[in-house]
C-alpha cells in the first residue's frame, strides 16, 4: 500500500457538489501496490429502505435519500468506475419496493454491483431480487483487485423455513431491530465452500475487497450487528496480504481492524441507528478503534446521514472523511504515534455540537 489520498480529486468532487456537500453516499479510493496508474474509485450507496404505502405511494423521506445519492454520484468528477449498492433497497422485500428502487437506481450513469440485505431477502428468500439484479454471491476482478460479494444475512434453516406461518410474518420479524425472536445472520457452509474455491484461484498477493451487508465480525447480537460464522469467513480471508471489507446494515460510522483485515461501514440513505451502548446495557463488542459519530439529536434522523470518503491506502493505513449532513464534518485517521485512530477535531470540545438537554 502506498500513500493514496488524492485530496485534490476528492475536493474537486466535493466542490462540485456545492451546498449539498453532505450526501448519503460514500466514495472509496483505491490505490494499491504495483500499478499506480490503476488507481480507481467506486461509490457506495446503502440501506435505502424504500417503503411502500399503497398504490404508487412510498415514504417520501426514504425516496429522497436514495434519489439524492444517485444524483450526487452522477455529478462526481471523475466518475467512479462503478457503484456498490450495499443492501436493504426495500423495507419489507415487496416487489413494489424492489421495482421502485430499480427505477431510481437506473438513473445512475455507472454500472452497479448489488449486495443483498435482509430486508430484500426474507419475504421471498431473494427470488425477486435475483431476477432483477442477479446472484446474491459472486466475484469479479477490477484493475488488479479481486472483489467478492457475499450474502451474509442467511440464518438457520428452521427459522427460515419452518418457524413462521407466513412469509410476511417472517419478513416482519427480521425487519425489527431489537427482536428476541430474531436469528443471527450467517454466511453458512455452502457459501463459505464457494468462497474457499473462489479464493483458491487467485494469488495471495492480490488485493482483496469483500462486500457484505452485515459486518463480517461481531458487534451486538440482539440487533444483528453480527455475523455468526464471521471467524470462519475471516479465516478464509486471512492468508491474503491486503483485505478490506465494506458493509452496510449498521447505518452508522463504524470500523474495525482484526489482524490485517480492515472493516468499514457506510451510512444509510434513510436513517442512522444509535450505537448499541447508548441504548442497551447488554454486552456488546463495539470495536475500540471506532470513534463514534457525534450525534446531537437522536430524533433528527438526517443529522446522522451524510457522505464519506474512505481512503483505504492512506498515510498511516486508512483515512475516513465524513461529511455529516447536519453535523460537524470529521476526519478519522490512524495516529501513528498513538497506534490507533483518532479524531482530534471532534475531541476538541469547542468543535462539538452540544447534545440536546431536553426532548
Rounded-to-integer distance, Cα 63 and Cα 83, Å:
18
The distance of closest approach from Cβ of residue 352 to Fe ion in the complex, given in angstroms and rounded to an integer, is 27
First to last CA, the chain: 47
Angle between helix 95-105 and 60-75 (nearest 10) = 30
- Contact between 354 and 296 (Cβ < 8 Å): yes
Give whichever of 249 and 321 is closer to Fe ion, judged by the CB atom: 249
Rg of the chain in Å (alpha carbons): 19
3 state SS of 257 = strand
Beta carbons within 8 Å of 120's beta carbon, 6+ residues apart: 87, 88, 89, 90, 93, 98, 126, 129
Tell me how crowded residue 316 is: count the other CB atoms within 10 A of its CB: 13
The distance of closest approach from Cβ of residue 103 to Fe ion in the complex, given in angstroms and rounded to an integer, is 20
Residue 186 zone, left/alpha/beta (φ > 0; ψ -120 to 50; rest): beta
Give whichever of 126 and 207 is closer to Fe ion, judged by the CB atom: 126
Residues 316-355 that bind Fe ion (CB under 5 A): none
- Only segment of 13-21, 70-78, 114-122, 343-351 that touches Fe ion (CB under 5 A): 114-122
Beta carbons within 8 Å of 135's beta carbon, 6+ residues apart: none
Choose, by CB under 5 A, the member of 28, 32, 42, 47 that binds Fe ion.
Answer: 47
Give whichever of 119 and 320 is closer to Fe ion, judged by the CB atom: 119
* Window 234-253: contact mask with Fe ion (x via CB under 5 A): ---------------x----
The distance of closest approach from Cβ of residue 267 to Fe ion in the complex, given in angstroms and rounded to an integer, is 10
Total chain residues near Fe ion (CB under 5 A): 5
Give whichever of 40 and 185 is closer to Fe ion, judged by the CB atom: 185
- Only segment of 45-53, 131-139, 227-235, 282-290 that touches Fe ion (CB under 5 A): 45-53
The distance of closest approach from Cβ of residue 88 to Fe ion in the complex, given in angstroms and rounded to an integer, is 4
Choose, by CB under 5 A, the member of 4, 65, 80, 117 that binds Fe ion.
Answer: 117
The distance of closest approach from Cβ of residue 57 to Fe ion in the complex, given in angstroms and rounded to an integer, is 21
Rounded-to-integer distance, Cα 83 and Cα 45, Å:
7
The distance of closest approach from Cβ of residue 239 to Fe ion in the complex, given in angstroms and rounded to an integer, is 29
The distance of closest approach from Cβ of residue 176 to Fe ion in the complex, given in angstroms and rounded to an integer, is 11
The H or E element containing residue 349 is: none
Choose, by CB under 5 A, the member of 72, 88, 97, 303 that binds Fe ion.
Answer: 88
* Residue 72 touches Fe ion, criterion: CB under 5 A: no
Residues that bind Fe ion (CB under 5 A): 47, 88, 117-118, 249
Amino acid at each position: 500500500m502506498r500513500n493514496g489520498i488524492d485530496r485534490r480529486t476528492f475536493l474537486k468532487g466535493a466542490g462540485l457538489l456545492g451546498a449539498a456537500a453532505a450526501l448519503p453516499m460514500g466514495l472509496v479510493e483505491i490505490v494499491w501496490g504495483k500499478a499506480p496508474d490503476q488507481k480507481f474509485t467506486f461509490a457506495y450507496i446503502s440501506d435505502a429502505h424504500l417503503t411502500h404505502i399503497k398504490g404508487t405511494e412510498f415514504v417520501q423521506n426514504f425516496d429522497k435519500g436514495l434519489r439524492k445519492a444517485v444524483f450526487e454520484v452522477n455529478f462526481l468528477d471523475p466518475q467512479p468506475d462503478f457503484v456498490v449498492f450495499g443492501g436493504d433497497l426495500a423495507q419489507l422485500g415487496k416487489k413494489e419496493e424492489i421495482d421502485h428502487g430499480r427505477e431510481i437506481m437506473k438513473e445512475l450513469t455507472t454500472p452497479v454491483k448489488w449486495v443483498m440485505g435482509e430486508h430484500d431477502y426474507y419475504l421471498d428468500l431473494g427470488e425477486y431480487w435475483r431476477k432483477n439484479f442477479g446472484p446474491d454471491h459472486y466475484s469479479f476482478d477490477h484493475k488488479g483487485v479481486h472483489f467478492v460479494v457475499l450474502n451474509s444475512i442467511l440464518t438457520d434453516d428452521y427459522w427460515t423455513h419452518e418457524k413462521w406461518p407466513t412469509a410476511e410474518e417472517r419478513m416482519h420479524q427480521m425487519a425489527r431491530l431489537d427482536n428476541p425472536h430474531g436469528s443471527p445472520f450467517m454466511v453458512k457452509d455452502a457459501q463459505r465452500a464457494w468462497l474457499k474455491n473462489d479464493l483458491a484461484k487467485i494469488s495471495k498477493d492480490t488485493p482483496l475487497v469483500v462486500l457484505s451487508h452485515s459486518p463480517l465480525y461481531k458487534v451486538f447480537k440482539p440487533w444483528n450487528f453480527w455475523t455468526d460464522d464471521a471467524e470462519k469467513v475471516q479465516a478464509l480471508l486471512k492468508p491474503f496480504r491486503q483485505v478490506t471489507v465494506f458493509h452496510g446494515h449498521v447505518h452508522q460510522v463504524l470500523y474495525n481492524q482484526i489482524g490485517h483485515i480492515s472493516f468499514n461501514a457506510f451510512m444509510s440513505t434513510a436513517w442512522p441507528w444509535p450505537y448499541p451502548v447508548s441504548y442497551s446495557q447488554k454486552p456488546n463488542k463495539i470495536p475500540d478503534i471506532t470513534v463514534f459519530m457525534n450525534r446531537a439529536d437522536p430524533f433528527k434522523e438526517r443529522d446522522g446521514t451524510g457522505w464519506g470518503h474512505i481512503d483505504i491506502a492512506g498515510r498511516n493505513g486508512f483515512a475516513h472523511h465524513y461529511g455529516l449532513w447536519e453535523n460537524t464534518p470529521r476526519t478519522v485517521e490512524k495516529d501513528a504515534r498513538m497506534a490507533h485512530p483518532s479524531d482530534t477535531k471532534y475531541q476538541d470540545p469547542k468543535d462539538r455540537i452540544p447534545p440536546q438537554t431536553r426532548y
